[in-house]
Amino acid sequence: MTTSQPRGLALQTISEAMTFGKMLAGSSFVPKDFRGKPEDCVLAVQHGAELGLGPMQSVQSIAVINGRPSIWGDAAIALAKGSAVCEYISERIEGDGDSMTAICEAKRRTDQTPTVSTFSVADAKKAGLWGKAGPWQQYPKRMLQLRARGFALRDAFPDILRGLVTAEEAQDYQAEPEAVTVSQPKPTPKKAQPPAVADDAAMAKARAAIEVASSEEQLRRFALAVHARQDDGFYTSEQADELLELCDERKSYLEENQEVPA
């Protein structure tokens, strides 16, 4: 059994990815949390690509909840079932009312026995979820099923999901409050104001930074910064295009010389 390759756009360069991210962020085809956030769209596409998802599948299947990437439960089971290592996945609900228990069995071809996970009404009550406003009131059986599924798939196919929890599970976690530090205000030292637009010295510094970049991650972050500074008016379109082209050239050089994975 082989898994078919994702169909759709094949984004080859950082410039292409950012252009596509801007287009997605300005459209109604992406979830509301991605609208107006091209950088988040690009990272979602990249995260999905590592799982084997196409660009559009990625923005529909990857969610950032409480600052942590996650995957919707239906996409998680689709990836697992589409893998050559999956023999079968079976789900069912046993019992009624407060005795309901969701059961998910996930079997790898190399394992002697399936991985079995359960999530009951008692488990939901203990976690403070049973009767919670929203899906837990509207679709309680479905939520029990998704919890059991998430546990089973993560245990049976950690290599497929790469550590992602299901979005349905992540939504039930309480966000950790940010630490607030109260301190006496300190005088802010005066700093030299940067030029309103990039001058020759700023461009020379940027070119030099690209030339010494030693990883694709550094180049990706630099490209994101270029786009942001272009939106701020610091770089002109011509300057931004030049720097992004240098990023792509440096990336190709590193790949040819095996300084980063191909």
Q: To 10 degrees, the CA torsion angle through 123, 126, 129, 131?
A: 100
Alpha carbons 200 and 105: distance in angstroms, whole number: 63
**Domain ends where: 129, 160, 191?**
160
pLDDT tops 60 at residue 151 = yes
What single-letter amino acid sits at 53? L
Domain assignment present for 151: yes
Domain that holds residue 239: 200-254
Mean pLDDT of 139-147: 95
Q: pLDDT band at 180, cuts 50/70/90?
A: low
For residue 131, the tally of other CB atoms under 10 A from its CB is 10
Looking at the structure, do residues 94 and 135 belong to the same domain, yes or no? yes
Looking at the structure, do residues 97 and 36 belong to the same domain, yes or no? no
Find the angle CA(229)-CA(231)-CA(236) to the nearest 5 degrees: 75
**Domain ends where: 110, 139, 160?**
160
Q: pLDDT band at 208, cuts 50/70/90?
A: confident
Domain assignment present for 43: yes
pLDDT tops 70 at residue 30 = yes
* Entry field: residues in the chain: 262
Indicate the pTM of the whole model. 0.60
Domain assignment present for 9: no
Domain assignment present for 33: yes
- In the chain, the number of structural domains is 3
Q: Could you tell me if 162 and 50 are in contact, meaning their C-beta atoms sit under 8 angstroms apart?
A: yes
**Domain ends where: 132, 160, 188?**
160
Looking at the structure, do residues 50 and 93 belong to the same domain, yes or no? no
Domain assignment present for 78: no
CB neighbour class for 154 (10 Å; exposed up to 12, middle 13-18, buried from 19):
buried
214, two tokens = 């030693």
Domain assignment present for 76: no
Per-residue pLDDT tens digits for 69-100: 889 989 999 999 999 999 999 999 999 999 99
Looking at the structure, do residues 98 and 156 belong to the same domain, yes or no? yes
Contacts of 50 (CB under 8 A, 6+ apart): 162
pLDDT tops 60 at residue 3 = no
Q: pLDDT band at 35, cuts 50/70/90?
A: confident
Domain assignment present for 70: no
213, two tokens = 């970049």
Looking at the structure, do residues 89 and 156 belong to the same domain, yes or no? yes
For 138-142, 145-149, 249-253, which range has the lowest pLDDT when averaged over its residues? 249-253
Domain assignment present for 195: no
Token pair 């290592």 in the structure block, residue:
85
Mean pLDDT of 28-40: 85
